[in-house]
Amino acid sequence: MNISRMQRQSISNENLSQVIAPLASYICATDRPRETLHSALAALVEAIKETNTAAVLHVASLRADSLSLAS
């Protein structure tokens, strides 16, 4: 089980670096890289919050559906 986790992690890291490299180049090429980095991080945090909210709502919906089937 640990081997499969390590393999998935390395694949994810490769995919992630393919996304991060162009973003890092873009940030470094701007006139204000620090501000651009902060903006990129803020956008990432917001996207994570939205994804988490959607996941919580999805799980709550599944629980509600399973509870209605049980009664």
Question: Per-residue pLDDT tens for 13-24?
Answer: 888 889 899 999
Q: At a CB cut-off of 8 Å and minimum separation 6, what does 33 contact?
A: 27
How much is the average pLDDT of 19-41?
A: 96
Name the residue among 61, 9, 52, 40 with its Cα closest to residue 69: 61
How much is the average pLDDT of 10-14?
A: 75
pLDDT recorded at residue 64: 82
pLDDT recorded at residue 1: 42
Residue boundaries of the structural domains of the chain: 1-30, 32-71
Question: Per-residue pLDDT tens for 42-70?
Answer: 999 999 999 999 999 999 998 887 777 66
Residue 38 pLDDT level (bands cut at 50, 70, 90): very high
